[in-house]
């Protein structure tokens, strides 16, 4: 079985990508995932704010903060704790530890000041950058259009600064995800990651407090990505990676059948460690053998390209509508 896949111009030996999380802050972990057969690793996101703080510290130290020493201390602390330099070192160390592609990740909400930093990520050895863009769409006076334009502006600014493959990891809070994905692709995105799983507040009704849902996904959450992978793959070509709810080889197979070139894993790695990667890979190979598929492209998009599949993924209502039939 040939599990290799070309994702955003990178040759991956398998479609399993280790999704961005704190796990990749330790190069020992990354080495374990690579040894278990992962095709690539996305590092923990560096935050736009960290980059801006670091730049301001270097550029404007004297004139900007002399009247506000506490700000300088804050920035110093932030940089020491989660430093930009540490991140560049993490890229270098991970590259030394593994022979698979290493994708850096930036968590960002604007194109202000920070994109120039992208070239340092390249210099540190990253093979690509994943833009983890998460702009909350919840203010009365901010239009959907303004938000989508910011996504495009961020992407274009980074593309101008650095010659590396750039993917966009997004959420599903757009009024037309297919069109938004197409705009990202048309403006230079080399791949899209569908979808990030954001923080989810919940309520404790006994203590009347706000709590949070589990940080880990459950397996049935995969259906959100499957719908949009299929609807995008049906309408235009784009390198897609599935994310959220992929816990087993079944999730990887489903993602590829709906058009993904790769599947990102996070929660299942937290729960089961690196061995889950080798289990998924051998079960994926067994499934391919049973179905007479010898490589990933043999079945990629098989349940998305035909018009009848599009209809199934478009459907919103449980009740089927037909003339003279109300059920
Ligand atoms: C503890 C934790 C930390 C995470 N940190 C990041 C991060 O820094 N950047 C990012 O893009 N996604 C981050 N994620 C999201 C994951 O990469 C992934 O998109 C999400 O967990 C859904 O995938 P899963 O169902 O395989 O867990 C984090 C997830 C967890 C559980």
Residue 22 DSSP code: G
Query: Which tokens go with 283?
Result: 């079960």
Query: What CA–CA distance (Å, rounded) separates 253 from 281?
Result: 11
Judge residue 203's burial from the number of C-beta atoms within 10 Å of its C-beta, 0-12 exposed, 13-18 middle, 19 or more buried.
Answer: exposed
pLDDT-derived band at 75, boundaries 50, 70, 90: low
How many Å lie between the centroid of ligand 1 and the Cα of residue 181? 20
Query: What CA–CA distance (Å, rounded) separates 159 from 132?
Result: 15
Probe ligand 1: pick from 266, 273, 280, max atoms within 8 Å of CB?
266
Q: Are 12 and 101 in contact (CB under 8 A)?
A: yes
Atom nearest to 22 CA in ligand 1: 3
Instruction: Give pLDDT, residue 323.
Output: 56
Q: Are 287 and 249 in contact (CB under 8 A)?
A: yes
Cβ within 8 Å of residue 156, ≥6 positions away: 111, 187, 188
Average pLDDT over residues 23-39: 97
Instruction: Give pLDDT, residue 227.
Output: 98
Nearest CA to ligand 1 atom 22: 244
The residue written with tokens 């959907």 in the block is 144
Instruction: Give pLDDT, residue 67.
Output: 44
Q: Are 173 and 137 in contact (CB under 8 A)?
A: yes
pLDDT-derived band at 164, boundaries 50, 70, 90: very high
pLDDT at 265 > cutoff 70: yes
pLDDT at 324 > cutoff 60: no
How many Å lie between the centroid of ligand 1 and the Cα of residue 79? 22
Probe ligand 1: pick from 90, 132, 196, max atoms within 8 Å of CB?
196
Query: Which tokens go with 182?
Result: 């197409």
Nearest CA to ligand 1 atom 30: 21
* Cis bond before residue 184 (omega within 30° of 0): no
pLDDT at 57 > cutoff 70: no
Query: What CA–CA distance (Å, rounded) separates 19 from 125?
Result: 19
Query: What CA–CA distance (Å, rounded) separates 26 from 37?
Result: 18
pLDDT at 65 > cutoff 70: no
Percent of the chain with pLDDT strictly greater than 90: 81
How many Å lie between the centroid of ligand 1 and the Cα of residue 265? 9
Query: What CA–CA distance (Å, rounded) separates 280 from 37?
Result: 9
How many Å lie between the centroid of ligand 1 and the Cα of residue 326? 42
pLDDT at 199 > cutoff 60: yes
Count CB atoms within 10 A of the CB of residue 308: 7
Query: Which tokens go with 42?
Result: 């996305």
pLDDT-derived band at 7, boundaries 50, 70, 90: very high
pLDDT-derived band at 80, boundaries 50, 70, 90: very low
Query: What CA–CA distance (Å, rounded) separates 49 from 55?
Result: 10
Percent of the chain with pLDDT strictly greater than 70: 89
Nearest CA to ligand 1 atom 28: 21
Residue 210 DSSP code: E
Instruction: Give pLDDT, residue 258.
Output: 98
Query: Which tokens go with 169?
Result: 């990891």
Atom nearest to 270 CA in ligand 1: 31
Strand partners, 45: 105
pLDDT-derived band at 58, boundaries 50, 70, 90: low
Query: What CA–CA distance (Å, rounded) separates 143 from 7?
Result: 33
How many Å lie between the centroid of ligand 1 and the Cα of residue 217? 9
Strand partners, 215: none
How many Å lie between the centroid of ligand 1 and the Cα of residue 69? 35
Mean pLDDT of the chain: 91
pLDDT at 273 > cutoff 90: yes
How many Å lie between the centroid of ligand 1 and the Cα of residue 103? 14
Instruction: Give pLDDT, residue 51.
Output: 87
How many Å lie between the centroid of ligand 1 and the Cα of residue 41? 12
Please name which of 174, 169, 113, 117 lies closest in space to residue 149, comparing C-alpha atoms. 174
Nearest CA to ligand 1 atom 27: 267
In this predicted model, what pLDDT tens digit does every residue of 278-317 receive, in sequence order?
A: 999 999 999 999 999 999 999 999 999 888 999 999 988 8
Query: What CA–CA distance (Å, rounded) separates 242 from 225?
Result: 6
Atom nearest to 265 CA in ligand 1: 26
Q: Are 201 and 136 in contact (CB under 8 A)?
A: no
Ligand 1 site: residues with CB under 6 angstroms?
A: 19-22, 44-45, 105, 107, 132, 169, 196-197, 215-217, 243-246, 265-267
In this predicted model, what pLDDT tens digit does every residue of 94-103 receive, in sequence order?
A: 999 999 999 9
In this predicted model, what pLDDT tens digit does every residue of 166-193 receive, in sequence order?
A: 999 999 999 999 999 999 999 999 999 9
Please name which of 1, 3, 23, 2 lies closest in space to residue 14, comparing C-alpha atoms. 3
Q: Are 194 and 243 in contact (CB under 8 A)?
A: yes
pLDDT-derived band at 70, boundaries 50, 70, 90: low
Instruction: Give pLDDT, residue 317.
Output: 87
Instruction: Give pLDDT, residue 68.
Output: 47
pLDDT at 113 > cutoff 60: yes
In this predicted model, what pLDDT tens digit does every residue of 127-163 receive, in sequence order?
A: 999 999 999 888 999 999 999 999 999 999 999 999 9
């Amino acid at each position: 079985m040939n599990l290799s896949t070309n994702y955003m111009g990178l040759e991956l030996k398998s479609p399993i990508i280790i999704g961005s999380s704190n796990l990749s802050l330790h190069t020992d972990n990354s080495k374990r995932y690579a040894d278990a057969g992962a095709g690539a690793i996305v590092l923990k996101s560096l935050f736009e704010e960290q980059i801006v703080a670091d730049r301001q510290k270097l550029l404007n130290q004297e004139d900007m903060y002399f009247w506000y020493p506490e700000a300088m201390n804050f920035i110093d602390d932030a940089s020491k704790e989660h430093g930009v330099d540490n991140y560049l070192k993490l890229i270098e160390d991970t590259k030394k530890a593994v022979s698979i592609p290493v994708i850096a990740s930036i968590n960002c909400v604007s194109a202000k000041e920070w994109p120039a930093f992208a070239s340092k990520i390249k210099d540190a050895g990253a093979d690509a950058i994943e833009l983890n863009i998460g702009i909350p769409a919840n203010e009365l006076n901010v239009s959907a259009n303004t938000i989508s334009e910011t996504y495009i502006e961020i992407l274009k600014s980074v593309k101008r600064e650095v010659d590396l493959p750039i993917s966009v990891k997004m959420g599903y809070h757009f009024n037309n995800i297919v069109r938004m994905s197409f705009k990202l692709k048309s403006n230079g995105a080399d791949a899209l990651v569908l979808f990030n799983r954001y923080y989810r507040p919940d309520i404790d009704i006994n203590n009347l407090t706000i709590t949070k849902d589990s940080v880990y996904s459950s397996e049935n959450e995969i259906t959100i990505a499957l719908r949009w992978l299929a609807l995008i793959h049906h309408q235009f070509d784009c390198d897609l990676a599935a994310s959220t709810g992929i816990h087993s080889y079944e999730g990887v197979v489903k993602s590829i059948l709906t058009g993904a070139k790769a599947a990102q894993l996070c929660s299942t790695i937290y729960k089961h460690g690196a061995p889950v990667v080798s289990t998924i890979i051998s079960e994926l190979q067994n499934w391919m053998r049973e179905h007479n598929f010898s490589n990933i492209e043999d079945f990629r998009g098989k349940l998305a390209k035909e018009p009848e599949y599009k209809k199934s993924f478009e459907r919103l209502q449980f009740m089927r509508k037909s003339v003279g039939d109300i059920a």
